[in-house]
Chain A
Amino acid sequence: MELFWNVATKLMDPFVFLLILGGVTAGLFVGAMPGLTAAMALAVLLPFTFKLPPLYGLVALGAVYMGAIYGGAFAAILVNTPGTPSSIATAFEGYPMAKDGRALEAISLATVSSALGGMAGVFFLLVLSPPLARLSIQFGSAEYFWVAMLGLTLIASLSPGSTLKGFLGGSIGMILAAVGVAPIGGDNRFTFGMPVLQGGVEMIVALIGLFVIPELFNMAAQGRAALAEVTMESRKRGTFLAAIRTVFSMPGNLIRSCIIGEIVAIIPGAGGSIANLVAYNEAKRASKHPERFGKGSVEGLVASESSNNVTVAGSMVPLLTLGIPGAPPDAVILGVLLMHGLRPGLDLFTVRGDLTYGFIISMGIAALFMVPVGILGGRLIYRVILKTPHYLLVPSIALVTILGTYALRNSLSDVVIMLLLGTSGFILKELGVESAPIVLGLILGSIAEMGFVQTLLRGTSLEHPWLMLFENRLSQIIIVLMVLSFASPYLSAGIRRLKTPPGEPPDEEASE
């Protein structure tokens, strides 16, 4: 009860509401820009929270995250370019609706679905986190090592395209995490004689570089050509109340999409980009009118937007309990937690319960704030997206990126590292190695190393110290899950190949 009053008192502060409003608006604008992802939004806006106390900083970034995922729907609906990868399926239905003069209806539906999804995510987070946090105290070094490896295999199996390239990306990220002073042992590794590398590759620096720079180059190369413009005729005006009625008229679709969103959110590395596609696909399979999908189906739009916003708070479950980011933007939140000396785990829910629960509930408030911000700001955002020339947008992002990276440690070397990583990330992306596995490898690398070395140290008295890695039941369960996730793409490809009638070419995915 005391905790409840503590949290309530902290959240009743008008400044908190101002931060949420500002965060949702800023996130919405960034997320609505095609090519700018939620991770980018958080990374770019992070420096603005440096001077804030931990709760305020987390509240602001949580609101930015919520707004950015929702903002992706605007570009998806209006210019057929998902503002963030979490809105890919939104474009499938939102854009045909916009072309049909139903842009405002689509935006209203996306707003209601996103707000409901966001609140569902907060509910899941409140319900699932405490038991998982209690479970986390049973995790020893070996379990943490295996959880990190499980994260890596999941990331690799879920990354678009080739699984092998996903593993390659994850390994590159883990090697980058090993740069600098060893956490156990204390020697300098991979510094190539450069003292600046002794501090290692700062996680947020890598995140900004790998997520922002490749998109910046793409935007520079393609300019406005990437954006197929739509004329937003408001022939059919979408009222907000009608949108609420429509969304609630399909409870099955809504609940299913929220559950799918939460399941995907808990899997490290998956996040909204996968949740929206899975939920969309399931909505299509369950629909009485699958033929309407791709032509402006409301069901598809609701499924995509509710599921992707569930992942915002939902993906915090593994982050706040185990320190494993559920999605790339969570890496920034993890960075903020660590920056303020807060370590994920049970302590976050007991010792710092006021802060943690305050942060979680603030995300629910942010989900509610999306409604007025989205409804009132929709037209303005539409104008901004369509009217801002790319030749001003690209250098503007570059400016904020440089400033944000520099402000982390007041270091120009970090900016150079960010540019180098970003340029390498762009080349790797062209070759099919995505940025997400690299970034998550970077985060999981240090967790895995600590777990690995500590476990082997514990086993020094044994003849084979590495057997300690396989010793207890929890480790064995995680290993089984890891093997399953590793084998799943190959198993499903094999099953698809078996199902393909002779003479017909197997589909592309199956041939992978």
Chain B
Amino acid sequence: MRRPANTDLLSGILGLAIAGVFWWGRGEVGHLSIMFPHALLFLLAAFSVALVVKGLVRPERRSIFVEGDRAKIIGTCAILFIWVIAIPYVGFFLASVTGFWVMACYLASSRRKVTSRLAAKLFCVVLAEVTFFYLIFAKLLYVPLPIGTFFN
């Protein structure tokens, strides 16, 4: 059992970090363009400081990232990003069939052994589903889905 985290302190620090990043990224802008964001940054910093103080004085402690399999979150997140990053290179269709299939096999592996038979079955389902959505978006809604630089 992991020790519960001080979520007030953590969210306060995160809020201060966001305020810091945005303060640093204001750019060279005129008074009219920045006066409201300035006020917001002060507000954000004030709420963050209040949370840090609350975290030090009377913290709310609770377990975080404990529901389910944490590795699956990281794995799913990684597959999702690689899937999207691959689209401009290999095109929407190929990236999606691969990304979808890899994610399905990866998530299925938590419950059962992914045999070559199951993987093949999943591939057929994935191919059918991606083709269906591809046709709807590309041919019916005329959305120009990326072809990919490899195939251009």
From the candidates B32, B84, B125, B130, name the one contacting A392 in the complex (CB within 8 A). Answer: B125
A residues within 8 Å of B by Cβ?
47-48, 50-51, 162, 164-165, 167-168, 171-172, 174-175, 178, 182, 184-192, 216-218, 220-226, 389-392, 394-396, 398-400, 402-403, 406-407, 410, 412, 415-416, 419, 423, 426-428, 430-433, 445, 448-449, 452-453, 456-457, 511-512
B14: A residues at CB distance < 8 A: 427-428, 431
CA distance A493 to B11 in the complex (A): 22
CA distance A192 to B77 in the complex (A): 24
A512: B residues at CB distance < 8 A: 60
CA distance A216 to B37 in the complex (A): 32
Residue interface mask B75-86, A partner, CB < 8 A = 1:
111001101110
A188: B residues at CB distance < 8 A: 27, 29
A187 touches B30 (CB 8 A): yes
B111 touches A223 (CB 8 A): yes
B144 touches A185 (CB 8 A): no
Q: A171-B40, A185-B32, A389-B108 are in contact. List 10 more A-B contacts (CB 8 A).
A: A48-B136, A168-B15, A187-B30, A221-B70, A395-B99, A396-B100, A410-B144, A423-B77, A427-B14, A431-B64
CA distance A226 to B106 in the complex (A): 18
Quote the shortest CB–CB distance from B74 to chain A (angstroms): 9
Q: Is the interface of A mostly helix, strand, loop or mixed?
A: helix
B48: A residues at CB distance < 8 A: 168
Question: How many interface contacts (CB-CB < 8 Å) are there between A and B?
Answer: 209
Output the nearest chain A residue to B134 by Cβ-Cβ distance. A403
From the candidates A174, A189, A191, A192, name the one contacting B34 in the complex (CB within 8 A). Answer: A189
From the candidates A182, A390, A456, name the one contacting B29 in the complex (CB within 8 A). Answer: A182
From the candidates A47, A224, A416, name the one contacting B84 in the complex (CB within 8 A). Answer: A416
CA distance A129 to B19 in the complex (A): 38
CA distance A128 to B40 in the complex (A): 33
CA distance A426 to B77 in the complex (A): 11
Of B8, B84, B122, most A-chain CB atoms within 10 Å: B84
Contact A189 to B44, CB < 8 A, known contacts A47-B143, A164-B54, A221-B70: no
In the A-B complex, the 8 residue pairs with the smallest Cβ-Cβ separation, listed nearest first, are A221-B68, A185-B33, A182-B33, A185-B32, A391-B107, A222-B68, A187-B29, A187-B33
CA distance A407 to B140 in the complex (A): 12
Residue interface mask B112-133, A partner, CB < 8 A = 1:
0000000000100110011001
Quote the shortest CB–CB distance from B98 to chain A (angstroms): 11
CA distance A308 to B152 in the complex (A): 50
A172 touches B29 (CB 8 A): no
From the candidates B103, B126, B137, B145, name the one contacting A394 in the complex (CB within 8 A). Answer: B103
Q: Supply 22 A–B pairs (Cβ within 8 Å), ascending by A.
A: A48-B136, A168-B44, A171-B43, A187-B27, A187-B30, A220-B73, A221-B70, A221-B73, A222-B67, A223-B68, A392-B125, A395-B100, A395-B103, A395-B107, A406-B92, A412-B84, A416-B84, A416-B85, A419-B84, A430-B7, A452-B39, A512-B60
Quote the shortest CB–CB distance from B127 to chain A (angstroms): 12
CA distance A349 to B79 in the complex (A): 47
CA distance A498 to B130 in the complex (A): 60
A50 touches B87 (CB 8 A): no
CA distance A452 to B37 in the complex (A): 11
Quote the shortest CB–CB distance from B119 to chain A (angstroms): 11
CA distance A399 to B18 in the complex (A): 30
A172: B residues at CB distance < 8 A: 15, 18, 44
B35: A residues at CB distance < 8 A: 452-453, 456
